[in-house]
Chain A
Amino acid sequence: MVKCTINGIDIEVEAGTSVIEAFKQAGQDIAHYCWHPGLSVAGVCRLCMVEIEGNPRLQIACNTQVAEGMKVTNQSEMVKDAVKWGLDFHLINHPLDCPICDQAGECGLQDQYMHFGKYDPEMALSKVKKHKVVDLGERVVLDSERCILCSRCVRFTEEVSKSNELGIFNRGDRSEIGTFDGMPLNNKYSVNTVDICPVGALTSKDFRFRQRVWFLKDKPSVCTGCSTGCNIDVYFNKDGVWRVKPHHSDVNGYWMCDEGRDIYKAVNPITTDFVGERENKKAVKKPNRILSAHSYHDGKMEFISTAETVSSIELGSFSNPALIVTGQYSNEEYDSILGFWKSKAGGKNIFHWQNQPEQWQDFDGLLIRGDKNPNTKGLLASLEKHGLQAQSQLPSMEGFDFVLVLGPENQWVYDNISQVADQVSQAKKVIWLSACHLEKASQMPKHVTFVPAKTFVEKSGSFTNFEGKVQSFAMVDVFVEEALDLQQVTQWFAGERVTASLAHPWQSVHNEFIHERGEL
């Protein structure tokens, strides 16, 4: 450990800590753009200037290691002046188009100007013109004029995704981020560049122009995209979830994959963009979630009371019931339903519906795993705990008089879903729990009843990830009021009726200020 003094505060840090990290540890604000804890040091923004006692020249905190007894400050007039001018240099060619910029509200330039700047600009000459609306790849758009060339995105593709698509082209104030010919930014982690972009230069095609960030709240959760269990922040308002971003943790560091960013699309009652319809340029508004229990009669949807449907099931009355489970529910839910199944149905006929199990051991070396279920480990543990056996092959369902399907929340990773639907409809009575509508649901026979299931943001619980780490998550908000989690299903099966109120799927769009306004 090394002792040092940061802005008059004595702290001890580990040997090899950089001064900027020491500032963070001491809880002191320090201006910076190019430094990112998950990337190498570039030392180019020249904002994290500090004064070290005994050194007449200002040093950058990111490339200076703490030495024993070092006394560092960023409160001196010399540092303040350097930071003020550093900001001014960043802003002279910046378009200052905050009113139409998606980053506004979470922009490094805005925040740091309000914190460290607040000067009168002196640049009265014409600004450098650069490329705008540059299509970098499938998910990311670049506005070069907003770019402050911190090189975070370039270093990300070099060091983290190791795909090297991005580079800085040209030199001086004509420098621009860009991709090489025929090599668009299409790696599986590309949207991380948007997250780490401190300004509005890189924006996500999925999120841009959809919401102003100050209308969104965020709460932590766990990604359901695969068995890695990346920690995420869910950004939402009363109309639904608008994006998820990685939340720093031991599991995922600072990153998450692009696939994982789509999980919110299974949550919103109405989505404007279905997965798989990215090519369709017209944004289609469709109700996505199942809002109430229903079945189909000659292709027409017939609503049934969710409460009556579920609570009318008397499990003991069936001679040969079956349970089909997927790895997309929480540990608590498995515990509840499997316990109930054991006591009422003797624990028979449990089938583990698996999507491409031959790929489950796949790992891309960074975050993406082949098991596209967040909780396969948890399911297996729960089965073991209850002393139950699950078969991985789905047999013909003709012989069963009741089948309860715990359908997947992220349907798009189950490529055999319509095949399973056909198979299941052979049973006499089926209850299919699902968060979203199935593509071929309308062709299903009348004895298949769909019951709305809660998504991961609407319940609290825990997932056990690939390495057996149990990660709990809390409810973010409820978007479909009639949706049930498996504990509720169990309760209702057991006759403990809990009334559910009707959903209001077609809420009018009404924004509200979540955060207090800053200084204007």
Chain B
Amino acid sequence: MEVKILTEHYSDDNYRSLDGYKAKGGYETLKKAFSMKPEDIVAEVKASGLRGRGGAGFPTGVKWGFLPNNGEPRYLLCNADEGEPCTFKDRMMMEKAPHQLIEGMIISAFAIGSHKSYIYIRGEYVYAAKVLEKAIKEAYDAGLLGKNIMGSGFDHDLDVYRGAGAYICGEETGMISSLEGKKGQPKLKPPFPAVQGYLAKPTIVNNVETLAAVIPIIRDGAAAYRKNGTEKSAGTKLFSVAGDVNKPGNYEVPLGYKMIDLINNECGGVKGGKLKAAIPGGTSAPIITAEEIEKATLDYECLAEMGTMLGSGSIVIMNDTRCMVDMMKVISHFYHHESCGQCTPCREGTGWLHKLVTSVITGQAKLTDIDLLCEVANKMKGRTICALSDAAALPVLGIVPKFRDEFEFYIKEGYSKVRGKSHGQMHH
């Protein structure tokens, strides 16, 4: 069952204007937040069990608690560089409810004592950026941003910063580099952004959905928020479902919801064939097979146990006409294209993986290359500054062992086991 907490009013077109948003109780929570102490807001978010919705799933309240008390200015950055393939939930949130994000950001900024924040938005999201800019102007005009917001004495400025289409700028330190005007490359940690982030000042980076989720937590309290979800994965989450389903789209369901139910109920079942596999959390997450999908629940713990992850919550469903070698090629091409090139294992490894998979399709591969593919992926894991190297390696370590027969068949016979000699349908 869909539980619409964040997306409750998304069907209302007027919701993206300030008036429409206010008509549905918008900015009431901000008023409540100003009546609270900042540390109580942080405590409430901590108590809610809210975990980062961008992919890593790190507890938000704990992250906020890392800020040092050194009197330096603090920055709040909203990560709206939604680059994980097949993820499109933040886009909808920003297009449908820009004021929801703005309100969530002001509350969060108040909680952590930040007077300046940026929304770093993916360059391709031109429309969403326009909607946000318009909403920010409305908010400034209504005294919801700027000096002395709602008479609370709290000042806050908010700007939209558009990226230029690099996946790596969705990594928080890569995003900070980009925002600083440098090449968007992740930074060495330590120091962590909470200590030295944007302009070497304490910085908190949160995903769009995370910041929006602060509103119901403060409005209804942590206990009410926890009514949905599981003990360790509290609340609801948006899932972007794509691929071979009848009704692809964004669905808000409580964490812990059964994956097969989401496919069959909300998404109207598998299209064009039998369910074969799914990628549960963006292409960086290892694939799971149809049998595993039956058992999977949509929460951080269950998917981690299965050796994959919830990630950004984008689910790609594949039916039995999909060739996994093709799929692997598309995925490895993406990471080859997007590696920033800073760390050697990732820079060289992503290209190597892509070439190895391509060689399977072009008939140049040997059977031993299947093991080499896994070996290269294994050696790229956990050896770099950021997680892109892991993101490139994990799909290989998921797809290749689980569908090894398809790779062996392709190498031996020279054509796909699944689609025969016909050309693949998947292009990038």
Contacts and interface: CB of A to CB of B under 8 A. Distances in A.
Interface of A: 41-47, 49, 57-58, 63, 81-82, 85-86, 89-90, 92-93, 122-123, 125-126, 128, 148-149, 151, 167-168, 170-175
Nearest to A82: B383
Contact of A58 (B336, B364, B372, B383): B383
A172 B351 contact: yes
Interface of B is mostly: helix
B352 interface: yes
B349 interface: yes
Given A43-B385, A45-B343, 19 more contacts: A42-B188, A46-B345, A49-B383, A57-B382, A82-B383, A86-B345, A89-B345, A89-B352, A93-B348, A123-B352, A125-B355, A171-B338, A171-B339, A172-B336, A172-B337, A172-B350, A173-B348, A173-B350, A175-B347
Contacts of B340: 171-172
A62 B342 CA distance: 16
Given A41-B188, A171-B341, A58 B351 contact: no
A246 B240 CA distance: 58
A57 B206 CA distance: 26
A45 B347 contact: no
A16 to B, nearest CB: 13
A86 B344 contact: yes
Contacts of B337: 172
A86 B384 CA distance: 11
Contact of A149 (B344, B364, B372): B344
Contacts of B356: 125
B347 A122 contact: no
Given A63-B188, A172-B336, A46 B348 contact: no
9 contacts: A46-B384, A89-B344, A122-B372, A125-B364, A126-B355, A171-B166, A171-B168, A172-B337, A172-B341
Nearest to B189: A63
Given A122-B372, A172-B336, A45 B344 contact: yes
Contacts of A85: 345, 379, 383
A149 B347 CA distance: 10
Give me the 3 closest cross-chain CB pairs, A-B, nearest first: A175-B341, A173-B351, A172-B339
Given A44-B344, A49-B383, A168-B341, A89 B349 contact: yes
A92 B345 contact: no
Contacts of A41: 188
Contacts of A90: 344, 348
A85 B345 CA distance: 8
Contacts of B188: 41-43, 63
A173 B385 CA distance: 16
Given A85-B379, A89-B348, A172-B351, A46 B341 contact: no
Given A49-B383, A82-B383, A149 B345 contact: no
B29 to A, nearest CB: 40
B359 interface: yes
A110 B27 CA distance: 64
Given A41-B188, A92-B348, A122-B372, A170 B341 contact: yes
Nearest to B337: A172
Interface residues of B, number: 31
A44 B383 contact: no
A167 B341 CA distance: 13
A174 B348 contact: no
Contacts of A172: 336-341, 347, 350-351
Nearest to B344: A89
Interface string B187-198: 010100000000
Interface of B: 166, 168, 183, 188, 190, 336-345, 347-352, 355-356, 359, 364, 372, 379, 382-385
A81 B378 CA distance: 11
Contact of A46 (B190, B343, B372): B343
B335 to A, nearest CB: 9
B351 A93 contact: yes
A158 to B, nearest CB: 11
Contacts of B349: 89
A173 B341 contact: yes
Nearest to A34: B344
Contacts of B384: 46
Contacts of B347: 89, 149, 172-173, 175
B21 to A, nearest CB: 39
A243 B144 CA distance: 67
Contacts of B342: 44, 149, 151
A81 B382 CA distance: 13
Nearest to B184: A171
A191 B301 CA distance: 55
Contacts of B341: 149, 168, 170-175
A239 B364 CA distance: 52
A122 B190 CA distance: 34
A58 B168 CA distance: 23
Nearest to B341: A175
Nearest to B389: A46
Nearest to A49: B383
A42 B190 CA distance: 12
B225 to A, nearest CB: 33
Contacts of B383: 46, 49, 58, 82, 85-86
Nearest to A43: B188
A92 B339 contact: no
A171 B356 CA distance: 20
A92 B380 CA distance: 14
A173 B336 contact: yes
Contacts of A63: 188, 190
Contacts of B183: 167-168
